[in-house]
Amino acid sequence: DVKVTQSSRYLVKRTGEKVFLECVQDMDHENMFWYRQDPGLGLRLIYFSYDVKMKEKGDIPEGYSVSREKKERFSLILESASTNQTSMYLCASSESGTGAKSPLHFGNGTRLTVT
């Protein structure tokens, strides 16, 4: 089974801090994704990467950056955390290709609270 591991389940940070959310997958997947999930808004795509050192903006990239130095690891960085970034953050990975051949496999999420 694919395993996507997010480093923290719960995280509390202060406004203005630089925050790193880490994600590791063990299936040699090419694609990795960061979503945030908020009540009533579903999952919104922040950034994704289809290869090492490659990144693409999603729908809501403002205030975030990402890093993918190794294939198995994809980091989400909040440059200066703000209270409106309090959310559940979900990392996912998939094989290259589309459709059922490459469903997304999600981690269990990191619930970030910014105070």
Partner 1 sequence: GQSLEQPSEVTAVEGAIVQINCTYQTSGFYGLSWYQQHDGGAPTFLSYNALDGLEETGRFSSFLSRSDSYGYLLLQELQMKDSASYFCAVRDNQAGTALIFGKGTTLSVSS
Binding residues for partner 1 (CB under 8 A): 4, 31, 33, 35, 40-45, 48, 50, 56, 58-59, 90, 94, 96, 98-100, 102-109
Three-point CA angle 38, 56, 3, nearest 5°: 65
Query: Which of residues 4 and 81 has its CB atom nearest to partner 1 in the complex?
Result: 4
Please state, in angstroms and rounded to a whole number, the distance separating the CA atoms of residues 96 and 54: 14
32: nearest Cα among 83, 79, 91:
91
CB-wise, 76 or 81, nearer to partner 1?
A: 76
Residue 89: how many other CB atoms lie within 10 Å: 24
> Which CB atom, from 48 or from 81, has the smaller least distance to partner 1?
48
Q: How far apart are CA 44 and CA 89, in angstroms?
A: 10
Closer to partner 1 at the Cβ: 81 or 105? 105
Distance (Å) of CA 58 to CA 61, 65, 115: 6, 11, 25
